[in-house]
Every structure is written in C-alpha cells, then in structure tokens.
Amino acid sequence: MTGTQPRIWALADPRAGTAAQAIGIAERLGEPARVVDLAWGRLAALPMPFGTLAGLAPAARRAFVPPFPALAVSAGRRSAPVALWLAARGVRVVHCMRAPGAPRMDLNVIGRHDAPEPAPNVLPILGASHRLTPARLAEARAAWAALAALPPPRVALLVGGPVRGEGMAQAAAAAIGARVAGFAGSVLATASRRTGAAATEALAGALAGVPHRLHRWGGEGANPLLGFMAWADALVVTGDSVSMLSEALLTAAPIFVASTGGEGRRHLALHDSLYAAGQARPLSAAPAPFARMPLDETARIAAEIHSRGLLR
C-alpha cells in the first residue's frame, strides 16, 4: 500500500444514521479515511454470517480492489459480510451494532440498549457513535452567537419522526411543543426529514406564544441544528431518534426525552439506558435541572481501537 492510500475505510450504508456510525469513528482516528459508499442488491436482506460481496450491487463491488486498507469500520447487519470479506484479506475490522459473524470481528461496538453479551471483542457504549465532535460544537457556538440574545432558559427541541411511516402525528408534535413552551424562556426547534410538513406546522402553532426559532426541514439557509445544541440550556429530544439522542450526549446541558408514543422496544430500551446512566430524564421531569457530564463515546471507541493496536 502506497503512502497516498488511506489506511482506513469507512463502509457507508445508504441509511444516513447507520453510515454516520462508521464514518464518525473513522474520522476520529487521527488520519485520513476513505468513505466507501455501499449499494445493495437483492441478496443484502439475507443473513450471511460469512465474508462475501454478494449482497452488494455490481457497481458497488468494483470499489473492492487492492490495495486494501489496514482497518475497515462498518455498521449495520447488511455491511457485516462486506467487512468480513475484507477481514479474510488481512484487514482489521471494527463493526457497529449486532450482526451475523460478529464474533469474528476484531471489535464489535454495541449499544447498551441492545444488551450485548460480554466478550473480548465487544465494546458496549451508551447510544450510538456519530460524527459530532467537541470542536464542531464549539465552532457552531461561535457561528450562531446571535442566539445568545434569546431569553433564557433556551431549550433546544430536536424533533424526529417515525423510522417508517408518513411523518409524526400532528397531535404528538403539538403536545410536545406545548409542553416545552410551558417552561422555556425561548425555544430553538428543528424538524427533521421524518417529521413531515403537517406535524411541523402543528409544532409551529404550539410555539407561537413563546420566543422561538423553528427550522423546517428543507428550509432556506444554513441548518442551525448544531448552533441550537451549542446554545441550549436544556435539550428536549424526541425518543424516536437514536442519532439525535446520541449526539445530544456530547453537550453539557440536561437532556429530556420526549416520547412520541410510537417508539419500539429498542428505542424504549435506549431511553432506559440513558436514564440509568444519569444522562437523561423523561420530559415529564422537566424543567427541573440536573447535572450531567458530556459524554463522547465516539472518542472512547477511537481510543480503544488504538489501545488494541488495530491500526498499526
């Protein structure tokens, strides 16, 4: 392998949240990484506990030619066979989430909410890895300094939506908005792609009586999400978003989880793991503040990779 070739590959699933887990770890390892975009064929849905590229679409397979990296970082069940295919060619593999063939990974990063069984290659974490860093959060605070003029307490309201479906229920969005408006000095709210236009407008109506900023998905201008997080005195995050809950852990503000009523078993287990760790409380406990320390699990994963000598 030449010096111009990155020693790290991040295998990027088409699902943004899954890809961010792998890319986020790769970005924290201290050297350039190559992002390899994966695209799936019909065989990707089959459980394959061995190394193969059979699940990839033909065009995506063409990326897998020598020279291979020293380390590959992957996430999700579908990318595991691809990672194991690289492992058979001498590549060290770090994989996020449960997957067939995980015992053969060099390191398997699993959220506590998935109740991982102890094993030498298993690293339990709180939530999921992601791409947010302390440096990016500090940059956002400087870039969005105008938010300091809003009355405190400034509450960042991060709204997701169902993973599968037609958007959040309008009644749920309105109820969450009204609850937050009842104790906030000002609200910094942002909707996501999954929220839906109708729920976003219901949220806007609930916030009408309090100073607020509302970012609509696909709206004009820069996305203020990180600025909202950086300036928040408290964060309220809907319980359907593993990514936003995990990113919120990087801040120092109290975190409150707003249930939408549609979360599944794994989401509820995530909430319980956050509560048990003292890192979050349900929205019903707001606005009582509580102390918590910022948690940077992605940095801890990167440190574990280096301490195990997986990137030599």
pLDDT digit of tens for each residue in the chain (312 aa)?
445 789 999 999 999 999 999 999 999 999 999 999 999 998 887 878 899 999 999 999 999 999 999 999 999 999 999 999 999 999 999 999 998 888 889 999 999 999 999 999 999 999 999 999 999 999 999 999 999 999 999 999 999 998 766 789 999 999 999 999 999 999 999 999 899 999 999 999 999 999 999 999 887 788 999 999 999 999 999 999 999 999 999 999 999 999 998 899 999 999 999 999 999 999 999 999 999 999 999 999 999 999 999 998
Q: Are 187 and 150 in contact (CB under 8 A)?
A: no
Q: Identity (one letter) of the amino acid at 34? A: R
What is each CA distance from 153 to 131, 140, 141, 146, 252, in whole angstroms? 27, 19, 16, 15, 14
Tokens representing residue 158 in the block: 């991060």
Q: Which of 167, 146, 109 is nearest to 227 (CA)?
A: 146
Place of tokens 């287990």: 269
What domains are defined for the chain? 8-130+299-307 (3.40.50), 134-285 (3.40.50.2000)
Determine the Cα–Cα distance for residues 186 and 184; give it in Å rounded to an integer: 5
Q: Where are the beta strands (DSSP E) in the chain?
A: 8-12, 33-37, 71-75, 92-96, 107-111, 122-125, 154-158, 186-190, 212-215, 234-238, 255-258, 281-282
Helix, strand, coil percentages for the chain (3-state, nearest 5): 35, 20, 45
